[in-house]
Amino acid sequence: MVTPQRIYLDYAAATPMDERVIAVMRPYFSELFYNPSSPYGPAREVRQAIDGARAKLAMVMGVKPDEIIMTAGATESVNIAIQGVMAEGGHLVTSSIEHHAVLAAARNYDHTLVAPTEKGVVTPESIKSALKPETRLVSVAVANNEIGTIQPLRDIAQILEAERERRREQGEAAPLYFHSDASQGAGVISLNVARLGLDLLTLNAGKCYGPKQVGLLWAHSHVRLRPLIVGGGQESGIRAGTENVAGIIGFAEALNIAETLRRQEIERLTDLRDLLQAKLTDAFADMEVSGYLKRRLPGILHVTWPGLDAERVLYALDMQGVLVATGSACAANKGTRSHVLVGIGMSPERADGSIRFSLGRHTTEEEIMEAARIVIDTVQRERSR
Amino acid sequence: MVTPQRIYLDYAAATPMDERVIAVMRPYFSELFYNPSSPYGPAREVRQAIDGARAKLAMVMGVKPDEIIMTAGATESVNIAIQGVMAEGGHLVTSSIEHHAVLAAARNYDHTLVAPTEKGVVTPESIKSALKPETRLVSVAVANNEIGTIQPLRDIAQILEAERERRREQGEAAPLYFHSDASQGAGVISLNVARLGLDLLTLNAGKCYGPKQVGLLWAHSHVRLRPLIVGGGQESGIRAGTENVAGIIGFAEALNIAETLRRQEIERLTDLRDLLQAKLTDAFADMEVSGYLKRRLPGILHVTWPGLDAERVLYALDMQGVLVATGSACAANKGTRSHVLVGIGMSPERADGSIRFSLGRHTTEEEIMEAARIVIDTVQRERSR
């Protein structure tokens, strides 16, 4: 029996590691395996390699290397950002369509969830009206991981700057920080934090062709953070534990490759995504496309067929080698309805008829043509049952 | 120029990854890279591979797979154990010679640090006298990572069982849990938790020829833990974040190899360590050996030359390719005196004249003979300055 060629269209859930990333990590497994905190020469070489990787990561964001806290992925980064800032008290503003890590961490603090528009836009006005004098942190992801809407971070940052100005004038001392999870933005959005107007930024190696369970939190040196994990004093005392030497070096390589390819990938993925969207739109007059179509991640297409049982379609596609998602991997696993689709006001019936296609670096036009054919055929068959 | 062959004698700080471990991890980097929470077939295969690895890890400890929380290393495991248990209040007992992660986490709670004997033994009597009716957690590492003393965990467990019995009789409801960091014990001590009498156990892949930043916390199902990192609900809701698929699979392989080799390695390392100790003792009449010589990790030799500047010796040895430690890597990096040596009552002058040799799987008799020759020569030269 021949295994059919798989067409992977779930890059938002996980990305394969780039072979170049694996190659730069390899020496640090069994040759340069030394503890970077050990004092002898070979260990100092390892320390230098980490420092070099940190500097490469910093360059992409336009930040100082010592402002970067290496973590075990975006979930930990988000938790350090939220718990680390909110430990000193105050109020938190975020949106109802953020990642589970943000929502779960927010729950322990006084917080306001703003509702996005039906296209998934978290508007500056909604943030403005949620701000209180004691608001200490605002957290909005650069883009939604299900429907792909890119958020107006710079406009939100202006609102926050106006509030800071107001506090200064009033003699109020409470700081106001802006955090964004940019895991879905690596390689498709500029990560320059000054341009985005951020104080804290989360990134995830596992979403940009690097290793899983490797991430970072950038925090501007003016941000006061309480550590979650204490011990040997690594990562400027904010996050203890012997460094993931290979992981950090791999992450730097992965992010740099993603940054180098960014312009061409945005164009290529947009074309392929639009091709898939056009094929499906042609075949189904009643199919709806979610998200803010003018500012969407180039690789994401989220569609709804009212009345369809998308989960059945997902498994039928799986049998034919086409791998897609009905929601984020976390939610899918628990059999719960996507809080993002609920959050943008989609009816349960429509939410249950939704599929997310997410394209990535290895997606080809041939794959898109073949996937479109299989999806159209499968949805038509499912609807005629 | 020929680089001299290195003799690595700092296995307690870091271990090189076993090539077999790298081999089992490799497919999960770029082929089976799927998010284990995704619903399609190939992702379910990845989930099964993690489950299989978890079952293999559980077998070594004699526990249920779903009682294992995968973490980013021992420091995180220790933090979850201490913060997760102590979040509900109560008192904590630990010793003054525990790892920095334990001491730093303990600092946030009502706690008692018991003093060990001058051989580094944390006695059951000292634990007994530190217990209070509200003591909720006792944390003692299986062995000290600097001087190698193996702790009498079973005897301590009996003390705790007597205290639990007392509480039951008095109708006191406060639970009393026993945690141990066994990072230094993998491959040289039985990790059977029932035999050790534990409720929680920490392990570290990076110390047993597995990947860095991979660890686990086993917690008996009766232990109530509050999560540190929240989000997508992974690891039974105790530790969120997309799983380190390759890391977990590598850890299981590493621990199983270590367990398979355990008996022969204990014997081999003990012989080599005793050989090194004999050579050095023969050469230096005033050299002191630290730790409890009757129950010591087989691969650890900690010695003191009163009046020696051990740091100078360390760098001189480094120049000759012999890699050793003057303390734990964390402390060494900060230029502070080892809290372990202070804790066992060693004078500053003696502590500053101390070197730790830690042997491991690749240590050979030839290396030990050569290292002994170089160390003797170097220490003699340094002392005659």
| Beta carbons of B101 and A230 less than 8 Å apart | yes
| Beta carbons of B14 and A22 less than 8 Å apart | no
Sheet holding A354-358, edge to edge: A288-289, A300-304, A354-358
Whole-angstrom Cα distance, residue B143 to residue B356?
A: 14
What is the arithmetic mean of pLDDT over A282-293? 97
User: What are the tens digits of pLDDT across the range A134-175?
Assistant: 999 999 999 999 999 999 999 999 999 999 999 999 999 999
Measured between CA atoms, how close is B196 to chain A, in angstroms? Answer: 25
Residue A18, both tokens: 């780039």
What is the arithmetic mean of pLDDT over B3-28? 94
| The predicted structure's pLDDT at residue A336 | 74
Task: With beta carbons under 8 A apart, name residues in chain B contacting A39.
Answer: 311, 314-315, 318, 325-326, 332-333
| The predicted structure's pLDDT at residue B282 | 98
| The predicted structure's pLDDT at residue B336 | 74
| The predicted structure's pLDDT at residue A2 | 47
Reported ipTM exceeds the 0.90 cut? yes
Domain boundaries, chain B: 7-16+263-383, 19-260
User: What are the tens digits of pLDDT across the range B213-254?
Assistant: 999 999 999 999 999 999 988 998 999 999 999 999 999 999
For domain B19-260, give the fold: Aspartate Aminotransferase; domain 2 (3.40.640)
Pair type for strands A68-71 and B215-219: unpaired
**Beta carbon pairs, A and B, within 8 Å:** 237
User: What are the tens digits of pLDDT across the range A164-206?
Assistant: 999 999 999 999 999 999 999 999 999 999 999 999 999 999 9
Q: Rounded to the nearest 5°, which phi and psi values hold at B344?
A: -90, 10
Measured between CA atoms, how close is A385 to chain B, in angstroms? Answer: 22
Residue percentage of chain B with pLDDT more than 70: 97
| The predicted structure's pLDDT at residue B161 | 98
Whole-angstrom Cα distance, residue B318 to residue B184?
A: 24
B208 given a catalytic annotation = no
Whole-angstrom Cα distance, residue B161 to residue A255?
A: 52
What is the arithmetic mean of pLDDT over A88-115? 97
What is the arithmetic mean of pLDDT over A323-339? 73
Question: Which residue in chain B has the smallest CA separation from A211?
Answer: B29
What is the arithmetic mean of pLDDT over B361-372? 98
Whether the per-residue pLDDT at A4 is higher than 60: the answer is no
Give kind and range of the element (H or E) at residue B204.
strand B200-204
Measured between CA atoms, how close is B18 to chain A, in angstroms? Answer: 7
Write down the mean pLDDT value for chain A: 95
Q: Which has the closest alpha carbon to A76: A240, A192, A291? A: A240
Whether the per-residue pLDDT at B63 is higher than 60: the answer is yes
Residue percentage of chain A with pLDDT more than 70: 97
DSSP code, position A32 = S
A246 to each of B245, B301, B349, how far by Cα in Å? 15, 29, 38
Q: What is the pTM of this model?
A: 0.96
What is the arithmetic mean of pLDDT over A102-128? 98
Question: Which residue in chain B has the smallest CA separation from A210?
Answer: B29
| The predicted structure's pLDDT at residue A137 | 98
Q: A19-257: which CATH architecture?
A: 3-Layer(aba) Sandwich (3.40)
Measured between CA atoms, how close is A315 to chain B, in angstroms? Answer: 7
**Secondary structure of residue A109 in the 3-state scheme:** coil
pLDDT bracket for residue A333 (50, 70, 90): low
User: What are the tens digits of pLDDT across the range B284-318?
Assistant: 999 999 999 999 999 999 999 999 999 999 999 99
| The predicted structure's pLDDT at residue B331 | 52
| Cβ-contact A115, A95 below 8 angstroms | yes
pLDDT bracket for residue A106 (50, 70, 90): very high
**Secondary structure of residue B53 in the 3-state scheme:** helix
| The predicted structure's pLDDT at residue B385 | 84
Residue A182, both tokens: 């940019």
| The predicted structure's pLDDT at residue A25 | 98
Neighbour-count burial of A127, counting CB atoms closer than 10 A to its CB (0-12 exposed, 13-18 middle, 19+ buried): buried
| Beta carbons of B213 and A241 less than 8 Å apart | yes
pLDDT bracket for residue B333 (50, 70, 90): low
Task: With beta carbons under 8 A apart, name residues in chain B contacting A37.
Answer: 13, 329-330, 332-333
**Least CB–CB distance from A231: residue in B13, B41, B104:** B104
| Beta carbons of A72 and B213 less than 8 Å apart | yes
Among the four given CATH numbers 3.30.70.3000, 3.90.1150.10, 3.40.50.150, 3.40.50.2300, the one describing domain B7-16+263-383: 3.90.1150.10
What is the arithmetic mean of pLDDT over B187-207? 97
Q: Which superfamily, per CATH, for A7-15+262-383? A: Aspartate Aminotransferase, domain 1 (3.90.1150.10)
Whether the per-residue pLDDT at B270 is higher than 90: the answer is yes
DSSP code, position A135 = E
- Residues of A with a catalytic annotation lie at 330
pLDDT bracket for residue A328 (50, 70, 90): low
Contacts of A252 (CB under 8 A, 6+ apart): A52, A53, A54, A56, A57
Whole-angstrom Cα distance, residue A147 to residue A266?
A: 17
Question: Which residue in chain A has the smallest CA separation from B11?
Answer: A34
Residue A90, both tokens: 């105050």
Task: With beta carbons under 8 A apart, name residues in chain A contacting B107.
Answer: 230
Whether the per-residue pLDDT at B334 is higher than 60: the answer is no
